[in-house]
């Protein structure tokens, strides 16, 4: 191998590493000193391993740091000249953001304050996209980034890329610094049965669980994250049988049990999601509770209940042989069924339950827990 070939191979490896571990650049102390051509190169990469809202945040941060004489640190106090100056700094970067991959709440909170630097046509397209149920991005929109991040998952419903996406949602929802998750398969309908009694026996004592559901016929994949434990009454009756004597390695949920001891707190950390048919990331959608949920765990204390997310998602007993499972958009917003109103009954083709955990050795556990 010639010296030139070796250099090119090393250069390619370095660039791939940056895309896989972008925080090496974006979180460095020298980020604001990054040359504009390098930033543009990164923004063009389809495999840049960041959520798109992070890409926007870092781009704005770089733009502000490289724009002189801004009148205030508070964007709400900016003058027209301030926005003109920032747009000039970021003129070549603005078209490279995948705006239609940014969630509506993030768009409202983090993009709209800087909307004056966006082209008028783009602002109009984004307004239509976020306000019209079932709206698709325009054909001119850049495709979603192919995230490098994957999380191993033993699933017949989804894949490691979607697992990484779900892990990122959990991290953002719980506001935790944990970066590595593992999804332990607890229950699979086709393997263990679709009886809700099986679900209660295997999942009642678990917190930080993810339910994946594949709907028969449409192939649509929906699911939810349950931060707290499922059934308090079952726990009280069976606690002695649920204790694990092996504490050499602790597998604990992504938020500490003490922080989830309040059922109401745990319920308000839950979320629902749709992965579309699982073929691409563009159809992925998140749904959060827009109001506080009170005592939702008590709704699951019926001895016949299976996975249940308040008034919005219910999985019936033997759900693979009937159409008694249902979804309706009430507490969690936005609607995961393209804005359709009312209950949607469906038959389950397959469903799985995972626990999202991170491995930690006992000696590294915090002293005050």
**DSSP secondary structure string for all residues of 26-40:** HTSTTGGG--HHHHH
**Domain-embedded: residue 140:** no
| The pLDDT value given to residue 16 | 65
80-89 vs 52-65: helix crossing angle, rounded to 10: 110
Q: Which two tokens stand for residue 281?
A: 């990331």
**Domain-embedded: residue 369:** no
Residues 9 and 125 in one domain: yes
**Domain-embedded: residue 145:** no
| The pLDDT value given to residue 11 | 65
State percent of the chain over pLDDT 90: 44
Residues 205 and 282 in one domain: yes
pLDDT score of 259 more than 70: no
Least confident range of 150-159, 178-187, 222-231, 311-320: 178-187
Identity of the highest mean pLDDT range in 39-48, 109-118, 139-148, 195-204: 109-118
Identity of the highest mean pLDDT range in 137-141, 349-353, 357-361: 349-353
* Chosen domain end from 131, 149, 178: 131
CA distance 2 to 206: 57
Q: Which residue has the tokens 């509506």?
A: 104
Q: Which two tokens stand for residue 173?
A: 């929802």
User: What is the number of alpha carbons within 13 Å of residue 310 lying toward its C-beta?
Assistant: 29
- What is the average per-residue pLDDT within 209-217? 96
Residues 180 and 319 in one domain: yes
CA distance 218 to 209: 25
| The pLDDT value given to residue 107 | 92
Q: Give CA torsion, residues 90, 105, 99, 49, to 10 deg.
A: 90
Least confident range of 87-91, 182-186, 207-211, 247-251: 247-251
Residues 176 and 59 in one domain: no
**Domain-embedded: residue 7:** yes
Pairing, β 209-215 against β 249-253: unpaired
Residues 35 and 122 in one domain: yes
**Domain-embedded: residue 38:** yes
| The pLDDT value given to residue 162 | 86
Q: Into how many domains does the chain fold? A: 2
**Domain-embedded: residue 351:** yes
CA distance 144 to 301: 41
- What is the average per-residue pLDDT within 178-192? 88
CA distance 147 to 137: 19
Give the pLDDT band of residue 179 (cuts 50, 70, 90): low
- What is the average per-residue pLDDT within 123-136? 87
Give the pLDDT band of residue 261 (cuts 50, 70, 90): very low
22-47: pLDDT as tens digits: 878 888 889 999 999 999 999 998 77
59-74: pLDDT as tens digits: 999 999 999 999 998 9
- What is the average per-residue pLDDT within 259-270? 56
CA distance 117 to 261: 45
Q: In what order do the strands lie in the sheet with 344-346?
A: 308-309, 313-314, 325-327, 344-346
**Domain-embedded: residue 300:** yes
* Chosen domain end from 115, 131, 147: 131
Closest Cα to residue 353, out of 207, 168, 236, 176? 207
* Chosen domain end from 131, 152, 172: 131
CA distance 113 to 100: 17
**Domain-embedded: residue 149:** no
pLDDT score of 365 more than 50: no
- What is the average per-residue pLDDT within 103-107? 88
Residues 104 and 10 in one domain: yes
Residues 37 and 178 in one domain: no
Give the pLDDT band of residue 116 (cuts 50, 70, 90): very high
**Contact present, 264 and 279 (Cβ < 8 Å):** no
Residues 195 and 283 in one domain: yes
pLDDT score of 265 more than 60: no
Q: Which residue has the tokens 């434990």?
A: 229
Identity of the highest mean pLDDT range in 5-14, 15-24, 71-80: 71-80
Residues 229 and 355 in one domain: yes
> What is the overall mean pLDDT for the chain?
80
Domain that holds residue 353: 160-364
pLDDT score of 363 more than 70: no
Length of the chain: 369
Cis peptide before 334 (omega within 30 of 0): yes
Residues 230 and 307 in one domain: yes
| The pLDDT value given to residue 185 | 97
Q: Give CA torsion, residues 57, 63, 67, 69, to 10 deg.
A: -10
Residues 203 and 328 in one domain: yes
User: What is the number of alpha carbons within 13 Å of residue 286 lying toward its C-beta?
Assistant: 22
Dihedrals phi, psi of 353, to nearest 5 degrees = -125, 130
**Contact present, 138 and 182 (Cβ < 8 Å):** no
**Contact present, 110 and 56 (Cβ < 8 Å):** yes
CA distance 316 to 327: 11
CA distance 273 to 212: 9
Residues 222 and 308 in one domain: yes
| The pLDDT value given to residue 296 | 45
Q: DSSP labels for 56-98?
A: HHHHHHHHHHT-TT-S-SSGGG--HHHHHHHHHHTTTTGGGS-
| The pLDDT value given to residue 70 | 93
| The pLDDT value given to residue 140 | 85
CA distance 296 to 299: 5
- What is the average per-residue pLDDT within 158-180? 77
Helix, strand and coil percent figures for the chain, each rounded to 5: 40, 15, 45
pLDDT score of 161 more than 90: no
């Amino acid at each position: 191998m010639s010296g030139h070939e070796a250099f090119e191979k090393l250069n390619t490896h370095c660039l791939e590493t940056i895309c896989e571990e972008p925080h090496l650049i974006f979180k460095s102390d020298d980020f604001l000193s990054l040359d504009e051509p390098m930033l543009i190169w990164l923004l063009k990469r389809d495999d840049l391993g960041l959520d798109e809202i992070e890409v926007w945040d870092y781009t704005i941060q770089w733009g502000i740091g490289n724009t002189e004489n801004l009148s205030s640190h508070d964007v709400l106090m900016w003058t027209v000249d301030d926005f003109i100056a920032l747009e000039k700094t970021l003129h070549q970067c603005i078209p490279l953001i995948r705006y239609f991959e940014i969630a509506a709440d993030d768009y409202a909170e983090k993009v709209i304050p800087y909307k004056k630097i966006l082209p008028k046509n783009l602002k109009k397209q984004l307004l239509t996209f976020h306000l019209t149920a079932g709206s698709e991005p325009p054909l001119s929109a850049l495709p979603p980034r192919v995230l490098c991040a994957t999380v191993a998952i033993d699933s017949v419903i989804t894949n490691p890329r979607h697992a990484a996406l779900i892990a990122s949602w959990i991290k953002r929802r719980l506001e935790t610094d944990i970066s590595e998750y593992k999804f332990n398969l607890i229950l699979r309908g086709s393997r263990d049965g679709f009886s809700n009694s099986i679900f209660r026996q295997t999942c009642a004592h678990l917190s930080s669980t993810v339910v994946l559901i594949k709907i028969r016929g449409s192939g649509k994949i929906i699911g939810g994250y349950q931060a707290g434990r499922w059934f308090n009454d079952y726990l009280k009756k069976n606690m002695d049988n649920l204790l694990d004597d092996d504490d050499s390695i602790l597998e604990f949920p992504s938020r500490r049990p003490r922080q989830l001891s309040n059922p109401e707190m745990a319920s308000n950390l839950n979320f629902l999601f749709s992965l579309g048919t699982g073929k691409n990331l563009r159809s992925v959608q998140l749904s959060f509770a827009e109001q506080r949920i009170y005592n939702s765990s008590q709704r699951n204390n019926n001895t016949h209940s299976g996975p249940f997310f308040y008034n919005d998602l219910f999985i019936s007993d033997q759900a693979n042989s009937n159409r008694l499972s249902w979804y309706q958009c009430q507490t969690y917003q936005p609607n995961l069924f393209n804005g359709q109103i009312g209950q949607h009954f469906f038959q389950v083709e397959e469903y799985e339950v995972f626990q999202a955990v991170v491995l930690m050795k006992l000696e590294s556990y915090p002293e005050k827990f």
